[in-house]
């Protein structure tokens, strides 16, 4: 078929199919964009940054109330049990920060132990923590068992 100017006319079915494919492709792209935006927002809210004590002190003003993890060693002689948890200082050898922890500390918590505290800066100079993780070696050493004295 030809139109008045001599050009070929596309059948109506081909135009409809092309339109449907275009709409389907645009819809798929729209769904993909929405999914990427939702994943980005959800994942960014769940990210907790990890810093050493000196890095945390250096970025204290910009952190505000944002949660992050701070790693260091418990300063000996600073551990004080409170009614709500434990207060102590941690250091990385360059800077020292007072930590106010709400809740029970882990069983391996002690002076000199390497710890990672999760929380945020309080209105004062202290770090408000609600989670303490103890850093320890990955090697398991089973207890010595005397098998000669057991009755079988």
pLDDT along the chain (152 residues), means of 10: 57 78 92 91 74 89 83 94 93 93 89 91 88 78 70 54
- Burial (Cβ within 10 Å: 0-12, 13-18, ≥19) of residue 117: buried
Give yes or no: residues 96 and 54 share one domain: yes
Backbone angles phi, psi at 38, to 5 degrees: -65, -45
How confident is the model at residue 123, as a pLDDT?
81
Say if CB 127 and CB 99 are below 8 A apart: yes
Give yes or no: residues 67 and 13 share one domain: no
Say if CB 114 and CB 73 are below 8 A apart: yes
Boundaries of domain holding 18: 1-47
Give yes or no: residues 129 and 55 share one domain: yes
Give yes or no: residues 19 and 92 share one domain: no
Domain-located, residue 16: yes
Give yes or no: residues 31 and 42 share one domain: yes
Q: What is the pTM of this model?
A: 0.61
How confident is the model at residue 85, as a pLDDT?
92
How confident is the model at residue 129, as a pLDDT?
92
Distances (CA, A) of 49 to 5, 33, 120, 121: 67, 26, 11, 13
How confident is the model at residue 142, as a pLDDT?
74
Domain-located, residue 34: yes
- List the beta strands (DSSP E) in 56-107: 68-74, 80-81, 85-91, 96-102
Give yes or no: residues 28 and 77 share one domain: no
Say if CB 109 and CB 115 are below 8 A apart: yes
How confident is the model at residue 32, as a pLDDT?
94
CA pair distance 114, 137, nearest whole angstrom: 11
How confident is the model at residue 40, as a pLDDT?
82
Nearest to 67 by CA among 122, 124, 134, 105: 122
């Amino acid at each position: 078929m030809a139109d008045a100017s001599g050009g070929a006319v596309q059948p109506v079915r081909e135009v409809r199919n092309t339109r449907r494919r275009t709409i389907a492709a645009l819809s798929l792209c729209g769904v993909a964009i929405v999914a990427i935006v939702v994943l980005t927002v959800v994942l960014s809210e769940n990210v907790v940054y990890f810093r050493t004590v000196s890095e945390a002190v250096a970025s204290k003003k910009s952190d505000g109330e944002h949660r992050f993890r701070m790693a260091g060693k418990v300063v000996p002689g600073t551990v004080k049990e409170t009614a709500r948890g434990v207060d102590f200082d941690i250091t990385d050898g360059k800077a020292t920060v007072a930590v106010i922890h709400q809740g029970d500390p882990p069983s391996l918590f002690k002076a000199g132990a390497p710890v990672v505290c999760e929380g945020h800066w309080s209105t004062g100079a202290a770090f408000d923590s609600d989670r303490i993780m103890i850093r320890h070696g990955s090697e398991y050493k089973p207890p010595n068992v005397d098998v000669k004295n057991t009755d079988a």
